[in-house]
């Protein structure tokens, strides 16, 4: 069979195809996003879709499983918090067709707000969890998950991590299994979780766990690797790979199915060694089971290895005092390179205006969270998906009760608004909040790499879809009268609207519209240039935090022509009218308005 280098996420997608999965859903989130983006390669065989959020995606996959079809749902670790409600019910209901739940955890928080260990969910929901250590296993585990799911009538979780999702290793490709033919057969006792049914289902779940524990002892991917010394390493996921680097002569028990924990297999392993190191990222899950299974054995775990961050061969060595980690170069004087809003980002003018008005917004999850970083520095909270609106309402009500009135501004993106902002806005309207909600509508889920959403007008499979218009949804649907829209590049109009709506003692929504610049950048746009005579080095334009703007040796503003998209925002904020559009020869054409921007080919 052919071998190919695949990322863990590509391997999951390949595994889904080989395993005869015919339904896949997800909400995008790093590091899980590319799973569905790769599943669309198999669109003749697999129906796939983005859900509005992880909960809807999970329920839709469960519905598909009810028909006997094999279903997969993918999300990042915090997404599973949103989908936890159906996850727990799905465990009681079981799986008619296989139900595979992918949770991509992010130890080290490369792009997340926490680093929770989602194996806890598998334990809490009483369902098996698989942990691949490379791409080959990621693919294999999807096939195994389907088998386990259908054999034991249970949803199965696969815990990926940023490292396994985004590493490429060789994978042997296989053929596709014939998928089962779906047919919906009613099963009231199993799928209607009225308390009378659910009590019986709970008993079934407990029995299932016992059977799965026996299975875990004999599961082929829970393997003992012989060593030369009486030292043992118990490891799961990518931590196994780090262990092999550090302990070349040790015995290994590598767990691809860490829960239910293979007690007997572990006890056999423990008898062969004098001391056991437990390597796993984040929390001591297998370690806890190991200590229970062999209380007399010397076990080295999280009292030595960190709970925080990713492991690596360096971290393991340093934890055991095996490597001096003192750097040769101390890193002094190396400025950081934080991410920033892109040149031409349609969110920039809004955050700049917040700075001018001295307002700290309550923020949310998306590209626009970067509005919190300097020089924009205009967002002081970011909690979770949708929390901008609800946190704002809580602040407002608590202050109001104490007789204080402060008008708050919440900011949320279009995809996050569809995900879980709508319910928060309903709370604001119902409970007579008075604050302003700004929805930054760039028609796409940009942060995770441009996935379609209900406002994009396209589905994951590229079909035309009805575009859900946020202005109409809020004004006509929720009946919020003070709903206005404005162009993301119109600095003055945004500021005037913000002032007007913040003064209003009623709730309001401002929808700031402009498609993501990365998708709609046109080659013929005329870049901006600085008139060095007019420029007084006042640095107002630098406060935009635009990556295309810096200063020259004389301290005058300088625009990088290859990065500039010609959005014109810097020209609008310059107090000395020193920035304007250049024509093709780099000559000034002296125009800074949106109309001339349109003439320059920007609209």
Q: Which residues bind another protein (CB under 8 A)?
A: 3, 5, 30-31, 110-111, 134, 162-163, 166-170, 238, 241-242, 244-245, 312-314, 317, 323, 325, 327-329, 331, 333-342, 367, 370, 374-375, 449, 539, 542-543, 545, 547, 549-551, 562
**Closest approach of Cβ 505 to another protein, in Å?**
37
Taking the complex as a whole, the smallest distance from the CB of residue 372 to another protein amounts, in Å, to 12
* d(C-alpha 361, C-alpha 439), whole Å: 12
For 433, phi then psi, to 5°, come to -65, 165
**291 vs 352: CA distance, rounded Å:** 55
Phi and psi for 405 in degrees, rounded to 5? -115, 120
When the beta carbons of 275 and 317 are compared against another protein, the nearer one is: 317
Report the nearest approach of another protein to the CB of residue 359 (Å): 20
Q: How far is the CB of 198 from another protein (least distance, A)?
A: 39
Residue 231 bridge partners (DSSP): 275
- The 3-state secondary structure of 495-539 reads HHHHHHHHHCCCCEEEEEECCCHHHHCCCCCCCEEECCCCCCCCC
d(CA 304, CA 322): 12
Q: Smallest Cα–Cα separation from 362: which of 341, 390, 400?
A: 390
CA distance 113 to 115: 7
Q: Which residue lies nearer to another protein by CB, 411 or 594? A: 411
CB of 425 to another protein, least distance (A): 27
| Residue with Cβ nearer another protein (119 or 163) | 163
Tally of CA atoms within 13 A in the half-sphere of 438 that contains its CB:
32
Question: Nearest distance from residue 168's CB to another protein, in Å?
Answer: 4
Rg (CA), the chain: 27
Nearer to another protein, 206 or 229 (CB): 229
CB 538 within 8 A of CB 370: no
Integer Cα distance of 530 and 551 in angstroms: 10
Closest CB 109 distance from another protein, rounded Å: 10
CB of 451 to another protein, least distance (A): 13
Nearer to another protein, 449 or 477 (CB): 449
Instruction: Label each residue of 245-295 as H, E or C.
Output: HHCCCCEEEEECCCECCCHHHHHHHHHHCCEEEEECCCCCHHHHHHHHHCC
Nearer to another protein, 81 or 167 (CB): 167
Pick the closer one to another protein by CB: 73 or 549. Answer: 549
Residue 148 or 447: the one with the smaller Cβ distance to another protein is 447
The rounded distance, in Å, linking the Cα atoms of 194 and 207 is 20
Based on CB atoms, which residue is closest to another protein, 79 or 128?
79
Residue 518 C-beta: closest distance to another protein, Å: 9
Cβ atoms < 10 Å from Cβ of 190: 17
Of 373, 360, 378, 489, which is closest to residue 435 (Cα–Cα)?
360
CB of 193 to another protein, least distance (A): 37
| Dihedral sign (CA 515, 521, 524, 526) | positive
Q: How far is the CB of 324 from another protein (least distance, A)?
A: 9
- Edge to edge, the sheet with strand 275-279 lists 223-225, 251-255, 231-236, 275-279, 298-300
Nearer to another protein, 162 or 408 (CB): 162
Interatomic CA distance for residues 497 and 492, integer angstroms: 9
Whichever of 169 and 592 has its CB closer to another protein, that residue is 169
């Amino acid at each position: 069979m052919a071998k190919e280098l695949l990322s863990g996420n590509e391997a999951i997608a390949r595994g889904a195809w080989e395993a005869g999965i015919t339904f896949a859903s997800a909400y995008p989130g790093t590091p899980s996003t590319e799973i569905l983006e790769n599943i669309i390669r198999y669109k003749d065989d697999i129906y796939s879709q983005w859900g509005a959020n992880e909960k809807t995606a999970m329920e839709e996959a469960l519905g598909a499983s009810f028909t006997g079809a094999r279903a997969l749902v993918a999300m990042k670790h915090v997404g599973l918090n949103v989908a936890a409600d159906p996850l727990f019910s799905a465990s009681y209901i079981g799986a008619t067709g296989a139900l595979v739940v992918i949770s991509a955890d992010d130890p080290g928080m490369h792009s997340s707000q926490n680093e929770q260990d989602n194996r806890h969910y598998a334990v809490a929901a009483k369902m098996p969890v698989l942990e691949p250590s490379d791409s080959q296993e990621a693919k294999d585990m999807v096939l195994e998950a389907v088998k386990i799911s259908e054999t034991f009538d249970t949803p199965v979780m696969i815990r990926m991590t940023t490292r396994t999702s985004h590493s490429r290793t060789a994978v042997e490709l296989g053929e596709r299994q014939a998928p089962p033919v779906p047919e919906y057969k009613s099963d009231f006792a199993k799928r209607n979780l009225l308390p009378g049914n659910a009590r019986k289902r709970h008993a079934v779940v407990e029995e299932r766990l016992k059977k799965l524990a026996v299975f875990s002892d004999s599961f082929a991917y829970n393997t003992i690797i012989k060593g030369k010394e009486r030292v043992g390493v118990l490891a799961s996921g990518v931590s196994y790979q780090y262990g092999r680097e550090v302990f070349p002569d040790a015995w290994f028990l590598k767990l691809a199915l860490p829960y239910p924990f293979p007690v007997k297999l572990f006890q056999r392993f423990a008898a062969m060694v004098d001391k056991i190191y437990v390597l796993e990222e984040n929390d001591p899950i297998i370690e806890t089971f190991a200590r229970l299974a062999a209380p007399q054995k010397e076990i080295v775990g999280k009292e030595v290895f960190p709970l925080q961050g990713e492991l690596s061969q360096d971290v393991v060595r340093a934890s055991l005092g095996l490597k001096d980690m003192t750097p040769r170069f101390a890193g002094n004087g190396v400025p950081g390179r934080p991410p920033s809003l892109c040149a031409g980002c349609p969110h920039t003018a809004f955050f700049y205006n917040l700075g001018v008005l001295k307002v700290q917004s309550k923020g949310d999850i998306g590209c626009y969270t970067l509005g919190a970083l300097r020089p924009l520095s205009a967002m002081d909270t970011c909690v979770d998906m949708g929390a901008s609106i609800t946190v704002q309402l809580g602040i407002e009500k608590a202050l109001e009760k104490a007789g204080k009135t402060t008008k708050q501004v919440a900011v949320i993106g279009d995809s996050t608004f569809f995900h879980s902002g709508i319910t928060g806005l309903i709370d604001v309207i119902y409970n007579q909040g008075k604050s302003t909600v700004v929805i930054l509508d760039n028609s796409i889920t940009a942060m995770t790499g441009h996935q379609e959403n209900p406002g994009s007008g396209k589905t994951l499979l590229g079909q035309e879809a009805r575009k859900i218009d946020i202005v109409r949804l809020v004004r006509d649907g929720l009946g919020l009268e003070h709903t206005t829209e404005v162009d993301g590049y119109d600095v003055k109009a945004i500021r005037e609207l913000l002032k007007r709506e913040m003064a209003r003692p009623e709730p309001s929504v401002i929808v700031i519209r402009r498609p993501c610049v990365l998708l709609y950048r046109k080659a013929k746009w005329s870049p901006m240039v600085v008139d060095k005579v007019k420029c007084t080095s006042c640095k107002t334009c630098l406060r935009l935090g635009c990556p295309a703007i810096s200063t020259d040796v004389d301290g005058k503003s300088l625009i990088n022509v290859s990065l500039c998209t010609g959005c014109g925002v810097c020209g609008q904020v310059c107090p000395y009218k020193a920035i304007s559009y250049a024509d093709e020869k780099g000559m000034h054409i002296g125009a800074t308005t949106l109309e001339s921007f349109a003439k320059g080919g920007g609209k």
